[in-house]
Amino acid sequence: MVYTASTRSLALLEVLVHIKNAKPIHSSAKDRYVLYPVAFDAALVEELPDSSLPSDWDAEPPKDSTKFIGDAWISGSSSAVLSVPSVIVPEERNYLLNPKHDSFSRIDIGMPVPCRFDPRLL
């Protein structure tokens, strides 16, 4: 499974949240991050309705209930892309990509572009 965000800003927030317990990012290390632009047709997307989320969907660390949703989606291969709410900004969406899906080749993954973290965030 490939985890993506709907916007560049959400992607940066997702990275920052997941490295919060790691060693601090020094200026040289932060320059190693890149973003990959991803584009896909809406026909490839299955949206997970908020109403189908378990009550603990936003728990930290993630609970098995949400892992089971992702596992079932991958094994069921119902779509190449699954749209899910971001825990960080629930009004925005993250997209899970299924590399084993027959339509995965229709997803356009671009060349990496530099990812700049404003030093005030670090």
- Extents of the domains making up the chain: 2-121
Residue 71: count of CB within 10 angstroms of its CB: 12
- Per the CB < 8 A criterion, the answer to whether 62 and 98 are in contact is no
Burial of 80 (0-12, 13-18, 19+ CB in 10 A): buried
**Res 35 pLDDT > 80:** yes
**Res 62 pLDDT > 80:** yes
How much is the pTM? 0.88
**Res 116 pLDDT > 90:** no
**pLDDT score recorded for residue 29:** 56
DSSP state of 118: P
Task: Please state the rounded mean pLDDT for residues 33-54.
Answer: 95
